[in-house]
Amino acid sequence: MEHLGDLESKLAGKNVLVRLDVNVPIDADASEDVLSESIKAHPRIQNIVPTLEAILEHTHKVMIAAHLGRPCGKVVEGLSLRPVGAVLAELLDREVVLLDHYLDEPPALFLKTLSQRQILLLENLRFFPGEKTADRAFASHLCSGMDVYINDAFGVCHRVHASTVTIPQWLGKENSFAGAALVEEVRVLDGLLRAPASPLCVLMGGAKVSDKMGALLSVIDKARWVLLGGAMAYPFLQAQGYMKLPESTSAKELKDVELARMVLAHAKERHVELVLPQDHVVAREFSATATPCITQDSCIPEGMMGMDIGPQSCDLYASYISRAKTVLWNGPVGVCEWPSFAAGSLAMAQAIAQNSGITVVGGGDSLALVLKHGLASQITHLSCGGGAMLDYLEHRDLPALKELSPFRSFYGEL
């Protein structure tokens, strides 16, 4: 937090552009009150309030830039930032003015028209194709007339976008800073990679197998136990012969099995125990209403598909988690959106919540599960970045972080 002190002295009277991560689930069917409460409770929103309050102590000329969902460069009414703006207004006790047309004139011009109690929120950046293509003209238009850029959006720091990389390049490192939530994310993840309280237990699940292999290889070096679940476990089971490779196996899936062999060899070399499910909840079809069956062992019978880890595996994994001093979890161990296949992921969330050591949970689905079951206060750190967390664990750096000067010095001091 020390670095925020530095930052504040640079803000007095300045025009400040803040990139925030407010990408929270928006339930279009929920009533206004219910929607507002769910937005307010989300860690992505909770985490950015201190940064905004600190900035507002020094300047009221604040312009927030953020995105919601995947509108793919087009205006999508359901992905407007309006509900988020209403929540921020309440939390900050300011009027948040949503600017939905800002391509004709630089948005900084609108800052001049605001009173001391008003701040500006740019409508969803991803309504414009220039955001995702990191377009220089789009970026320079957004930051024209702005003095300072603050990035407090860890969840998008792995993206080379206009608002994460091109804008700080325009404004220069000397004017581009990290917000408090971003610094905290990096501090926690960096601590895990440097010197985690030992033993470290890593639990990885989810479906994006190849996205996670790099992070897995990187954290194996620090872990005592690596527990795998969800679709993440299947290439490993296939590599060990517990699961037959169907004839329809794609080239990508074959590559995952190859990667799994490499990770298994690396874990063995490092004397890290890599634990695979001992039993599974399987079904004949991938459907919420499919009949769940529990296998007797690690093998997945032909014609069935794995949907969750089984009860024996839940107990086994929970026993590893209970002995760890540090736990890192990314990705559900089953299809947690469907009640018949959610028991394993819930058991993992509960086991992690009961661990009194350092517990770090990241990834959209794992985070949602922890929030849904009221376990958030029992977790040391809820990471608000899924892909960003994995990329940071793999590379120890992210493209957007390279553009932030105080962050660099803070990072150097870690």
Q: List the catalytic residues.
A: 44, 208, 364, 387
Q: How far is the CB of 308 from ligand AMP (least distance, A)?
A: 7
Q: Does 334 bind ligand AMP (CB under 6 A)?
A: yes
Told to check if 398 binds ligand AMP by CB under 6 A, we report: no
Cβ atoms within 10 Å, residue 232? 26
Cα separation, 25 vs 35, in Å, equals 9
CA distance 225 to 215: 15
Residues 98-117 that bind ligand AMP (CB under 6 A): none
Q: Per-residue x/- marks for ligand AMP, 273-312, CB under 6 A?
A: ---------------------------------xx-----
Q: Kindly state the smallest distance separating residue 364's Cβ from ligand AMP, in Å.
A: 6
> What distance lies between CA 115 and its chain's CA centroid?
35
The residue written with tokens 């004397």 in the block is: 271
DSSP track, 294-350: E-SSS---TT-EEEEE-HHHHHHHHHHHHH-SEEEEES-SS-TTSGGG-HHHHHHHH
Site string for ligand AMP, 118-157 (x = CB under 6 A): ----------------------------------------
Which listed residue (57, 284, 337, 354) binds ligand AMP by CB under 6 A?
A: 337
**Counting contacts by CB under 6 A, is residue 403 touching ligand AMP?**
no
Q: How far is the CB of 286 from ligand AMP (least distance, A)?
A: 7
Q: State how far the Cα of 235 lies from the Cα of 253, in Å rounded to an integer.
A: 7
Query: Of residues 231, 290, 328, 398, which one binds ligand AMP by CB under 6 A?
Result: 231
Q: Which residue is nearest to ligand AMP (CB)?
A: 206
Enclosing H/E stretch for 124: none
Beta bridge partners of 16: 62, 148
Rounded Cα gap, residues 359 and 361, in angstroms = 7
- Residue 208 touching ligand AMP (CB under 6 A): yes
Binding site for ligand AMP (CB under 6 A): 205-208, 230-231, 306-307, 331-332, 334-337, 363, 365
